[in-house]
Amino acid sequence: MAAADDPDRVATGPLDSGMTRAELGEAAAGIAGLVHSAGAEELVFAGLNGPAFPVLLFGAALAGVPLVPVNYRLSAEALTGLLGRLGKPLVVADEDFVDVFAGSRAEVVTTPGFLAKARTAEPAVGLEASEDDPAVLLFTSGTTAEPKAAVLRHRHLVNYILQTVEFGAAAPDDAVLVSVPPYHVAGVGSVLSNLYAGRRMVHLRAFTPDGWLSLIREEHISSAMVVPTMLARVVEHLDGRPAEVPSLRSLAYGGARMPPTVLEAALRAFPDTGFTNAYGLTETSSTIALLGPEDHRAALVSEDPAVRARLYAAGRMVPGVEAQIRFFDGTVLPPGGHGELWVRGPQVSGEYQGSESPLDADGWFRTRDLAHFDDEGYLFIEGRADDTIIRGGENIAPAEVEDALLRHSAVREAAVIGLPDEEWGERIAAFVVVHQGADADGETLRAWVRSRLRGSKTPDVIVFRDELPYTPTGKLLRRELVRMAAAERNEA
Ligand code: AMP
């Protein structure tokens, strides 16, 4: 549709040398021809963000096989393990990552080599996937377990786009800076939604705060999407200075919970930019709730505590997605109840490769996020149900304790987990990174939390670290923290 509508408009890259929509379509048809003649059942992509990603995404779709973007930072062993779960994968890898696949039996080609070959390949015609075919397989980040392949079918992605994006709605000079990696559902979502909206895509291959700000200025970027750890690094880099990026009209964040202190600092640094919080899961084809710029503005100026609180909300459900809050046993809670979020709609997949559908008989999917809605339908995400700490019979959300710690001027990052305890069942351990040059001891921070929250929510131990373990998409690796805490105890 995009190519037919305006073939010469630049789809990806710089205005003067980027790839037009027509070129994107032709390149994808060439890729489809190569995939088909190789007899591949999946097209695997191990590469950085860049124009190759949209070409491969549409090339795979035209060939009727799923694209499987993988995390190129994984070990050779882990990547070979992932390939072992596929039928007949053809691997396209950036030159830096080709060696990692040396031990696998799959056919491996380099990204530039494959794109060059596609230019002269016999284009595939008439192979297109049906709406029920898998479009993308995404290995979930596996913060609590081994990675599993989430299956997103064409109908899930198409419904997501049709419900949330207006075709051609972008202004002619709109350009989006994509900095989330291709193996995250937000990377897939950004290709589809920006091409459909008609927004030129500019890719930042590897994120640095300075590189991100410079590219926004150079390319007159009007919108961008970041995960919370990226925004935290930008804010820290600015160190209280304004960002000075007049072209940036909108900044979307999501993929993990945004610490309130980072959001507040970002709102000060980007006073003329409209902020959007996008909440979603891989299994729901990305965004299912949105808090838009108007909501952010209203919350900032309101005297009403309920409206002010919405600054930290995930917003309202997008069209086509229904939500329920349920008790742990699956009973639906009355309005205002706190419990687990269940969702239903045509973009919700929930399916993992090789497993039965986890949807219940009526099509509802359990997100495992703890949440509640306010009176006007604003969704608040409280954290993963699995991360809840149960101390002396009381349920404690790590996020609440983390947010209290982050309000202390010395604290840069905080992560809170439960550790086994004979007396209390679990005790609260906080891992803290302090700002450069800042000084804080454990007792001071414990007293600080105690003065803000109940005594029972005060961390029992505070461990100081130089850094905390995150996935590249900004998710805290709590499993890794538990392991670190156990190692520390053994050393003591
Ligand atoms: P993934 O499927 O790896 O992208 O992880 C999805 C999970 O990330 C959700 O279940 C939430 O726990 C968390 N998440 C994603 N976006 C947001 C957001 N905007 N606010 C809070 N948590 C989020």
- DSSP letters of 291-347? E-HHHHHHHHH-S-HHHHHGGGS-BEEPTT-EEEEE-TTSPBPPTT--EEEEEESTT
Q: Could you tell me if 295 and 267 are in contact, meaning their C-beta atoms sit under 8 angstroms apart?
A: no
pLDDT at position 454: 85
Q: Is 189 in contact with 160 (CB distance < 8 Å)?
A: yes
How many domains are there within the chain? 2
Residue 352 belongs to a domain: no
Q: How far is the CA of 485 from the centre of ligand 1 (A)?
A: 25
The three-state secondary structure class of 84 is coil
**Exposed/middle/buried for 294, CB within 10 Å: 0-12, 13-18, 19+?**
exposed
- The pLDDT assigned to 126 comes to 75
> Is residue 455 domain-resident?
yes
85 within domain boundaries: yes
Instruction: Give the residue ranges of the chain where pLDDT is below 50.
Output: none
- Ligand 1 centroid, distance to 373 Cα (angstroms): 17
The atom number, within ligand 1, closest to the CA of 286 reads 4
pTM: 0.93
pLDDT of residue 144: 54
- pLDDT confidence of residue 124: 81
Ligand 1 closest atom vs CA 384: 12
The residue whose C-alpha atom lies closest to atom 9 belonging to ligand 1 is 281
Residue 38 falls within a domain, yes or no? yes
Where among 129, 159, 183 does a domain terminate? 129
In a domain, 178, yes or no: no
The last residue of one of the domains, among 129, 147, 168, is 129
Is position 324 within any domain?
no
- CA–centroid distance, 286 to ligand 1, in Å, is 9
d(CA 238, CA 218): 18
Q: Residue 424 sits in a domain of what CATH number?
A: 3.30.300.30
What range does the domain containing 11 cover? 2-129
Listed residues 129, 154, 185: the one ending a domain: 129
Q: Give me the amino acid identity at 331.
A: T
pLDDT tens, position by position, 343-384: 999 999 999 998 888 999 999 999 999 999 999 999 999 999
- Residue 24 maps to a domain: yes
Expressed in angstroms and rounded, the spacing between residue 6 Cα and the centre of ligand 1 is 35
Longest dimension (CA), the chain: 70
Q: For atom 20 of ligand 1, which residue has the closest CA?
A: 257
